[in-house]
């Protein structure tokens, strides 16, 4: 089993930055892929960014150039640095991990004011 705990969400003005953290209960090396999803009110949950155990990253087109996913292997933690935030980025952000099964964190709210 993999337990995920997100932190770092909050309220920020447009153009501001936030860094989300996802702490895992086991080594990231034992997890194939970790990523961040978000769900805005009335919308489907969507992939924001992901990183594989080998370090390969992928981003949604809407966040390329603004968001960066990274990891600290020693801390078993994955980060999402969000810069130049827009109101459209508002939503609940969920950490996700794939091993033999998929695992979800509880989510952290990100609100970007105009």
Residue 100's pLDDT is: 86
DSSP state letters, 7-72? E--EEEETT--EEEEEEESS-GGG-SEEEEEEE-TTS--EEEEEEETT--EEE-TTTTTTEEEEEE
User: In this prediction, what percent of the chain has a pLDDT beyond 90?
Assistant: 88
pLDDT for 18-66, tens place per residue? 999 999 998 888 889 999 999 998 999 999 999 999 999 999 999 999 9
Reported confidence tier of residue 5, pLDDT bands at 50, 70, 90: very high
Residue 112's pLDDT is: 98
On the question of pLDDT at 6 being above 90, the answer is yes
């Amino acid at each position: 089993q993999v337990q995920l705990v997100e932190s770092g969400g909050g309220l920020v003005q447009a153009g501001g930055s936030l860094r989300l953290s996802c702490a895992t209960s086991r080594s990231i090396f034992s997890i194939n892929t970790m990523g961040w999803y978000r769900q805005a009110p009335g919308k489907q949950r969507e992939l924001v960014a992901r990183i594989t155990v080998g370090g390969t990253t992928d981003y949604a087109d809407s966040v390329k150039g603004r968001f960066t996913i990274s990891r600290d292997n020693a801390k078993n933690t994955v980060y999402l640095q969000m810069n130049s935030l827009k109101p459209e980025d508002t939503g609940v952000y969920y950490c996700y991990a794939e091993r033999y099964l998929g695992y979800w964190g509880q989510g952290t709210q990100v609100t970007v004011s105009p």
